[in-house]
Structure 1
Amino acid sequence: MLGFGTIAKKVFGTPNDRKVKATRPLIEQINALETEFEKLTDEGLKEKTEEFAKRAMSGESLDDLLPEAFANCREAARRALGLRAFDVQLMGGVFLHQGNIAEMKTGEGKTLVATFPAYLNALTGKGVHIVTVNDYLAKRDSEWMGKVFAALGLSTGVVYPQQPEAEKKAAYACDVTYATNNELGFDYLRDNMKSDLAEVFQKQHNFAIVDEVDSILIDEARTPLIISGPAEDRSELYVAIDAVIPSLTEDHFAIDEKTRNVTFTDEGNEFLEQQLHARGLLEPEQSLYDPESTTIVHHVNQGLRAHKLFQKDKDYIVRDNQVVLIDEFTGRMMVGRRLSEGLHQAIEAKEGAKIQPENVTLASVTFQNYFRLYDKLSGMTGTALTEADEFAEIYGLGVLEVPTNKPIARIDEDDQVYRTGREKHEAIIKEIEKANEIGQPVLVGTTSIEKSEGLSQLLTKAGIKHNVLNARQHEQEAQIVADAGRLGAVTIATNMAGRGTDIQLGGNVELKVLAALEENPDADPVELRAAEEARHAEEKQKVLDAGGLYVMASERHESRRIDNQLRGRSGRQGDPGRTVFYLSLEDDLMRIFGSDRLDKVLSTLGMKEGEAIIHPWVNKSLERAQAKVEGRNFDMRKNVLKFDDVMNDQRKVIFGQRREIMAAKDLSEITADMRYQVIDDLIDTYMPPKSYADQWDTERLYGQVIEKLGADVPVMEWAAEEGVDDDVIRERLVKATDELMAKKAIDFGPESMRNIEKQILLQTIDTKWREHLLTLEHLRSVVGFRGYAQRDPLNEYKTEAFQLFEGLLDGLRETVTENLAKIRPLTEEEQQQMMAQIAAQQAQLSKGAPTPAADEDAAAEPVDAAPGFDENNPETWGNPGRNAKCPCGSGKKFKHCHGSVL
Structure 2
Amino acid sequence: MVLAAFARAIFGSANDRHVKRFRPRVEAINALEPELQKLSDEALRARTDDFRQQVANGRDIDDLLVPAFATVREASRRALGMRHFDVQMMGGMVLNERAIAEMRTGEGKTLVATLPVYLNALTGKGVHVVTVNDYLARRDAAWMGQLYRFLGMSTGIIVHGLSDAERKASYDADITYGTNNEYGFDYLRDNMKYARAQMVQRGHAFAIVDEVDSILIDEARTPLIISGPSEDRSALYETVDRIIPIVVEGDFELDEKQRAVTFTDQGVEKLEERLAAEGILKGASLYDVENVALVHHLNSALRAHKMFQRDKDYIVRNDEVVIIDEFTGRMMPGRRYSEGLHQALEAKEKVKINAENQTLASITFQNYFRLYKKLAGMTGTAATEAEEFADIYSLNVVTVPTNVPVQRKDDEDAIFRTAAEKFDAITEVIIDCRERGQPVLVGTTSIEKSEMLAELLKRKGIENIAVLNARYHEQEAHIVADAGVPGAITIATNMAGRGTDIQLGGNLEMRIERECKDLEGAERDAKIAQIKAQIAEAKKKALAAGGLMVIGTERHESRRIDNQLRGRSGRQGDPGHSKFFLSLQDDLMRIFPVQSMDTMLSKLGLEDGESITHPWVTKAIERAQGKVEARNFDIRKNILKYDDVMNDQRKVIFEQRLELMDNENVADAIGGMRHDVVDTIVARACPERAYPEQWDIEQLAEDAKRYLNLDIPAKAWSEEEGIDVEQVRERLKTLSDEAAAAKVARYSPEIMRQVEKSILLQSIDSLWREHLVTLDHLSKVVGWRGLAQRDPLNEYKQEAYELFQTMLSTMRELVTSQLSHVVLQMQAPPEDLPPPDLSRTREVHIDPFTGEDDSGDGPDEDPSTSPLDPELLKGLSRNALCPCGSGRKVKHCHGAF
Q: Structure 1-normalised TM-score? A: 0.90
| Partner residue in 2 for 1:176 | 175
Q: Structure 1 residue 331 and structure 2 residue 329: aligned?
A: yes
Per-residue Cα deviation, 1:636-661 (whole angstroms, up to 9, x for no partner): 11111111111111111011111110
Per-residue Cα deviation, 1:248-296 (whole angstroms, up to 9, x for no partner): 221111111111111111211211212222222213x420121222111
Matches within 5 A, 1:183-194: 183-194=182-193
Per-residue Cα deviation, 1:32-60 (whole angstroms, up to 9, x for no partner): 11122222222222321111112112221
| Partner residue in 1 for 2:140 | 141
| Partner residue in 1 for 2:77 | 78
| Partner residue in 2 for 1:407 | 405
| Partner residue in 2 for 1:654 | 653
For residue 171 of structure 1, report the CA deviation from its aligned partner: 0.2
Q: Structure 1 residue 308 and structure 2 residue 306: aligned?
A: yes
- Residues 129/515 of structure 1: CA separation in 2 closer, same or farther (3 Å cut): closer
| Partner residue in 1 for 2:427 | 429
Preserved CA contact (<8 Å) 1:141 1:178: yes
Query: Aligned equivalents of 1:726 and 1:149: distance in 2?
Result: 69
| Partner residue in 2 for 1:227 | 226
Per-residue Cα deviation, 1:378-408 (whole angstroms, up to 9, x for no partner): 1000000000000000110000000000000
Name the structure, 1 or 2, with higher relative contact order (CA <8 Å, separation 6+). 2
The one-letter amino acid of 1:386's match is T
For residue 203 of structure 1, report the CA deviation from its aligned partner: 2.0
Q: Structure 1 residue 742 and structure 2 residue 741: aligned?
A: yes
| Partner residue in 1 for 2:247 | 248
Preserved CA contact (<8 Å) 1:427 1:610: yes
Preserved CA contact (<8 Å) 2:550 2:577: yes
For residue 131 of structure 1, report the CA deviation from its aligned partner: 0.2
Matches within 5 A, 1:345-356: 345-356=343-354
Preserved CA contact (<8 Å) 2:476 2:496: no
Match of 2:76, SS state, is: helix
Query: Aligned equivalents of 1:280 and 1:383: distance in 2?
Result: 56
- Residues 519/123 of structure 1: CA separation in 2 closer, same or farther (3 Å cut): closer
Please point out which of 385, 388, 397 is paired with 2:386. 388
For residue 519 of structure 1, report the CA deviation from its aligned partner: 8.0
The one-letter amino acid of 2:365's match is F
For residue 516 of structure 1, report the CA deviation from its aligned partner: 3.9
Match of 1:467, SS state, is: strand
Match of 1:218, SS state, is: helix
Match of 1:803, SS state, is: helix
Q: Structure 1 residue 455 and structure 2 residue 458: aligned?
A: no
Query: Aligned equivalents of 1:317 and 1:611: distance in 2?
Result: 35
Per-residue Cα deviation, 1:840-868 (whole angstroms, up to 9, x for no partner): xxxxxxxxxxxxxxxxxxxxxxxxxxxxx
For residue 605 of structure 1, report the CA deviation from its aligned partner: 1.0
Query: Aligned equivalents of 2:824 and 2:772: distance in 1?
Result: 34
Per-residue Cα deviation, 1:347-381 (whole angstroms, up to 9, x for no partner): 11111121110011001111011101111111000
The one-letter amino acid of 2:288's match is D
Q: Structure 1 residue 504 and structure 2 residue 503: aligned?
A: yes
Please point out which of 368, 371, 374 is paired with 2:372. 374
Q: Structure 1 residue 478 and structure 2 residue 481: aligned?
A: no
Per-residue Cα deviation, 1:135-167 (whole angstroms, up to 9, x for no partner): 010011111111111111111000111102211
| Partner residue in 1 for 2:720 | 721
Preserved CA contact (<8 Å) 2:692 2:723: no
Query: Aligned equivalents of 2:361 and 2:233: distance in 1?
Result: 22
| Partner residue in 2 for 1:873 | none
For residue 824 of structure 1, report the CA deviation from its aligned partner: 2.3
Query: Aligned equivalents of 2:725 and 2:433: distance in 1?
Result: 93
More deviation, 94-103/726-735: 726-735
Match of 2:21, SS state, is: helix
Preserved CA contact (<8 Å) 2:75 2:150: yes
Query: Aligned equivalents of 1:632 and 1:558: distance in 2?
Result: 11
Query: Aligned equivalents of 2:707 and 2:652: distance in 1?
Result: 25
Q: Structure 1 residue 668 and structure 2 residue 667: aligned?
A: yes
| Partner residue in 1 for 2:768 | 769
- Residues 586/667 of structure 1: CA separation in 2 closer, same or farther (3 Å cut): same
- Residues 827/568 of structure 1: CA separation in 2 closer, same or farther (3 Å cut): closer
The one-letter amino acid of 2:399's match is E
The one-letter amino acid of 2:239's match is A
| Partner residue in 1 for 2:615 | 616
Query: Aligned equivalents of 2:543 and 2:217: distance in 1?
Result: 36
Match of 1:150, SS state, is: helix
For residue 420 of structure 1, report the CA deviation from its aligned partner: 0.5
| Partner residue in 1 for 2:417 | 419
- Residues 709/514 of structure 1: CA separation in 2 closer, same or farther (3 Å cut): closer
Match of 1:251, SS state, is: coil
Matches within 5 A, 1:702-721: 702-721=701-720
Matches within 5 A, 1:464-613: 464-465=462-463, 466-517=465-516, 524-594=523-593, 597-613=596-612
For residue 595 of structure 1, report the CA deviation from its aligned partner: 5.0
For residue 620 of structure 1, report the CA deviation from its aligned partner: 0.1
For residue 770 of structure 1, report the CA deviation from its aligned partner: 0.7
Match of 1:529, SS state, is: helix
Per-residue Cα deviation, 1:679-702 (whole angstroms, up to 9, x for no partner): 111111111111111111223212
For residue 725 of structure 1, report the CA deviation from its aligned partner: 1.3
Match of 1:341, SS state, is: coil
| Partner residue in 2 for 1:804 | 803
For residue 214 of structure 1, report the CA deviation from its aligned partner: 0.3
Preserved CA contact (<8 Å) 2:129 2:178: yes
| Partner residue in 1 for 2:857 | none
Q: Structure 1 residue 49 and structure 2 residue 48: aligned?
A: yes
Match of 1:163, SS state, is: coil
More deviation, 516-525/396-405: 516-525
For residue 521 of structure 1, report the CA deviation from its aligned partner: 6.9
Query: Aligned equivalents of 2:235 and 2:515: distance in 1?
Result: 55
Match of 1:655, SS state, is: helix
More deviation, 724-733/384-393: 724-733
| Partner residue in 2 for 1:759 | 758
- Residues 291/497 of structure 1: CA separation in 2 closer, same or farther (3 Å cut): closer
For residue 704 of structure 1, report the CA deviation from its aligned partner: 1.1
Per-residue Cα deviation, 1:792-828 (whole angstroms, up to 9, x for no partner): 2111111111110000000000000011101123389
Q: Structure 1 residue 212 and structure 2 residue 201: aligned?
A: no
Match of 2:22, SS state, is: helix
Q: How many residues align?
A: 826
Q: Structure 1 residue 322 and structure 2 residue 345: aligned?
A: no
Preserved CA contact (<8 Å) 1:747 1:825: no
The one-letter amino acid of 1:647's match is M
The one-letter amino acid of 1:326's match is I
Query: Aligned equivalents of 1:675 and 1:157: distance in 2?
Result: 45
More deviation, 777-786/467-476: 777-786
Which sections of structure 2, spanning at least 5 residues, go unmatched?
Answer: 828-897
The one-letter amino acid of 2:488's match is A
The one-letter amino acid of 2:781's match is V
Preserved CA contact (<8 Å) 2:102 2:400: yes
Query: Aligned equivalents of 1:762 and 1:464: distance in 2?
Result: 64
The one-letter amino acid of 1:368's match is Q
Preserved CA contact (<8 Å) 2:79 2:146: yes
Q: Structure 2-normalised TM-score? A: 0.91
Identity %: 59
More deviation, 203-212/531-540: 531-540
Query: Aligned equivalents of 2:79 and 2:195: distance in 1?
Result: 40
- Residues 273/820 of structure 1: CA separation in 2 closer, same or farther (3 Å cut): same
Match of 2:312, SS state, is: coil
Q: Which has the larger radius of gyration?
A: 1
For residue 518 of structure 1, report the CA deviation from its aligned partner: 5.5
Query: Aligned equivalents of 2:807 and 2:684: distance in 1?
Result: 18
Preserved CA contact (<8 Å) 2:131 2:211: yes
Please point out which of 441, 444, 447 is paired with 2:442. 444
Preserved CA contact (<8 Å) 1:744 1:824: no
| Partner residue in 1 for 2:65 | 66
Match of 1:263, SS state, is: strand
Per-residue Cα deviation, 1:445-469 (whole angstroms, up to 9, x for no partner): 0000000000010011011121100
Displacement over 4 Å in runs of 4+: 518-523
More deviation, 73-82/783-792: 783-792
